[in-house]
């Protein structure tokens, strides 16, 4: 029989791999957007909606799974499989329908099915870790980050027909569901399936630590997906080559995998709130200046983007880790889904607003608009830190009376 640490590493590796594959449809149309614009004669607004509608679908799916406690009534690995299978089929409908109207409906369904993949994967991994949970969930979000960056790498390589690309993504998605369902195992901290209990929604929201962790997450989401959705367009105005812009976007977004792991290590050594607050102060700082450096030397523009990409998602896993530690273990899946669903609602507004502000005032103010989100999140983490201590239980060093939102 394997020792516990070996089992933990095995499960973390397999479930992270499953998440990378299963979440790949999220930005699948972004990988072929240039071809779709030509084939379907898309306007800029229509192209934006291919991303926005996935966020809306995710929210709808998350509302259904949370209000029915579905995330805690079905074993998480099986729910991941069902979600991945549905997302794979919805992604294929884009190919079969071959029109913008069909694609919008299919992308909405894709987001809804992915709501049955992402939150349950975090719950599944939390059943393997108590100590080291921050790092474990950081690795999971790092896997999600790499999956989100991959379409830009596909764009950079180029030369693949869009239909073949989407079919390949569907195959990978289905494979990710199989990895989670067939190769992974339940952890030692698994609790039995919960009964349907609508009163748990009220109990979860009434939890002070859950509300503060969610406030931090909402500030994080105000920034994250707008940055991910538009960073390639930003670099399109920086580089003369479209492939160079896509490669830059891949590097910048992919840097977040390292940030997620780093923040996970820090959270296990100090606290979840410290790690999340540090990441948000850095990401807010870079959001303030990144767009105003459009005409700076290329190494500086790319460097500030990598710094932003590293920190912009580094805090994400820690909000989920806090939720798994402060809510009833029987309803962790429901609590995670509530937090994620509400956060994704915010992404719809900022994804829509960035190009509007950019067209009117330029990239500097478009990205500057994202900074208040992580600043608010950093404040919520400071309030949480001064309240009842989350694990680990070390003594907290006294903080100065006033703390800068940036340093």
Write the pLDDT tens digit of every residue in 210-269. 889 999 999 999 999 999 988 988 998 998 877 888 889 899 999 999 999 999 999 888
Give, as one character, the DSSP assignment of residue 390: P
Q: Which two tokens stand for residue 378?
A: 């950093």
In a domain, 402, yes or no: no
**CA neighbor of 355 nearest in space, from 230, 248, 232:** 230
Domain assignment present for residue 89? The answer is yes
- In the prediction, which pLDDT does 190 show? 66
pLDDT at 192: 54
**Percentage with pLDDT > 70 across the chain:** 89
Structure tokens at 15: 């479930």
Other beta carbons within 10 Å of 89: 16
Q: Look at 392 and 278; give whichever has higher pLDDT.
A: 278
What is the tally of structural domains in the chain? 1
Other CB atoms within a 10 A radius of the CB of residue 229 amount to 22
SS3 of 324, please? helix
Q: What is the mean pLDDT of residues 376-404?
A: 61
pLDDT attached to residue 6: 83
Q: Is residue 191 part of a domain?
A: no
Asked if residue 395 is part of any domain, the answer here is: no
pLDDT level of residue 35 (50, 70, 90 thresholds): confident
Dig out the tokens for 281 from the structure. Answer: 């102060």
Count Cβ atoms within 10 A of the Cβ of residue 197 and give its class: 0-12 exposed, 13-18 middle, 19 or more buried: middle
pLDDT on residue 399: 42
Answer whether residue 407 is part of any domain: no
Tell me the HSE value of 203 on the side-chain side, using a 13 A CA sphere.
Answer: 12
Show the tokens assigned to 180.
């989670």
In this prediction, residue 199 has a pLDDT band, given cuts at 50, 70 and 90, of: low
Element (H, E) at 239: none
Is the separation of the CB atoms in 392 and 278 below 8 Å?
Answer: no
| Residue 119 falls in which region: left (phi positive, over 0), alpha (psi -120 to 50) or beta | alpha
Question: Is the Cα torsion angle 45, 51, 53, 59 positive or negative in sign?
Answer: negative
By the 10 Å C-beta count (0-12 exposed, 13-18 middle, 19+ buried), 389 is classed as middle
Instruction: Read off the DSSP letter of residue 98.
Output: -
Residue 147 lies in a domain: yes
User: What are the pLDDT digits (tens) for 103-141?
Assistant: 999 999 999 999 899 878 877 887 787 777 788 888 888
35 burial via Cβ count (<10 Å: 0-12, 13-18, 19+): middle
Range of the domain at 310: 4-185+198-385
Q: What is the CATH number of the domain that holds 366?
A: 1.20.1250.20
Q: What is the DSSP string of 72-85?
A: HHS-HHHHHHHHHH
Burial class (CB in 10 A: 0-12, 13-18, 19+), 25: buried
Angle between the N-to-C axes of helices 242-269 and 316-326, in degrees from 0 to 180, rounded to the nearest 10: 40
In angstroms, the CA 189 to CA 43 distance is 50
Please say whether the beta carbons of 193 and 92 come within 8 A. Answer: no
Let me know if residue 398 belongs to a domain: no
Tens digit of pLDDT for each residue in 301-352? 999 999 999 999 999 888 888 888 888 777 777 787 788 888 888 888 898 8
DSSP H helices, 128-207, are 133-157, 162-178, 199-206
The answer as to whether 392 is a domain residue is no
Interatomic CA distance for residues 192 and 63, integer angstroms? 22
Q: For residue 132, what are the β-bridge partners?
A: 130
Longest dimension (CA), the chain: 63
Report d(CA 313, CA 274) in Å as an integer: 15
User: Which residue shows structure tokens 């989401």?
Assistant: 221
> DSSP labels for 257-321?
HHHHHHHHHHHHHS-HHHHHHHHHHHHHHHHHHHGGGTTS-HHHHHHHHHHHHHHHTTTHHHHHH
What is the share, in percent, of the chain residues with pLDDT greater than 90?
39
State the chain's mean pLDDT as an integer: 84
Token pair for 199? 């009163």
pLDDT above 60: residue 401: no
Digit-coded pLDDT (tens) for 77-112:
889 999 999 999 999 999 999 999 999 999 999 999
């Amino acid at each position: 029989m394997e020792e516990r640490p070996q089992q933990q590493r095995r499960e973390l590796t397999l479930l992270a791999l499953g998440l990378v594959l299963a979440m790949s449809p999220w930005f699948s149309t972004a990988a072929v957007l240039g071809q779709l614009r030509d084939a379907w004669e898309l306007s800029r607004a229509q192209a934006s909606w291919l991303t926005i509608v996935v966020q809306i679908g995710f929210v709808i799916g998350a509302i259904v799974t949370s209000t029915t406690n579905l995330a805690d009534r079905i074993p998480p690995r099986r729910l991941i499989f069902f979600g991945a299978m549905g997302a794979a089929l919805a992604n294929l409908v884009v190919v079969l329908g071959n029109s913008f109207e069909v694609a919008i409906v299919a992308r909405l369904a894709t987001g809804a099915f992915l709501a049955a993949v992402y939150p349950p994967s975090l719950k599944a991994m939390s059943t393997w870790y108590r100590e080291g949970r921050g790092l474990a969930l950081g690795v999971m979000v790092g896997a999600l980050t790499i999956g989100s960056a991959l379409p830009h790498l596909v764009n950079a390589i180029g030369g693949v027909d869009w239909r073949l690309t989407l079919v390949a993504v569907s195959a990978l998605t289905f494979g990710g569901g199989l990895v989670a369902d067939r190769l992974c195992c339940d952890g030692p901290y698994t609790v039995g399936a919960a009964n349907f209990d609508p009163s748990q929604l009220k109990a979860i929201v009434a939890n002070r630590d859950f509300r503060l962790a969610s406030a931090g997450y909402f500030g994080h989401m105000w920034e994250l997906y707008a940055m991910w959705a538009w960073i390639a367009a930003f670099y399109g105005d920086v580089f003369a080559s479209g492939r160079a812009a896509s490669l830059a976007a891949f590097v910048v977004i992919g840097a977040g995998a390292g940030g997620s792991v780093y923040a996970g290590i820090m959270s296990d050594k100090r606290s979840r709130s410290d790690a999340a607050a540090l990441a948000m102060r850095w990401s807010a700082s870079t959001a303030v200046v990144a767009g105003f450096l459009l005409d700076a030397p290329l190494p500086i523009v790319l460097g500030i983007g990598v710094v932003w990409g590293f920190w912009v998602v580094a805090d994400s896993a820690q909000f989920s880790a806090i939720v798994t530690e402060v809510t009833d273990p029987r309803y962790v899946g429901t609590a995670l889904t509530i937090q994620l669903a509400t956060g994704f609602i915010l992404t719809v507004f900022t994804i829509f607003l960035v190009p509007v502000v950019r067209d009117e005032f330029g990239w500097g103010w478009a990205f500057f608009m994202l900074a208040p989100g992580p600043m608010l999140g950093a404040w919520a983490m400071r309030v949480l830190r001064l309240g009842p201590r989350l694990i680990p239980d070390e003594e907290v060093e006294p903080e100065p009376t006033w703390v800068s939102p940036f340093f």
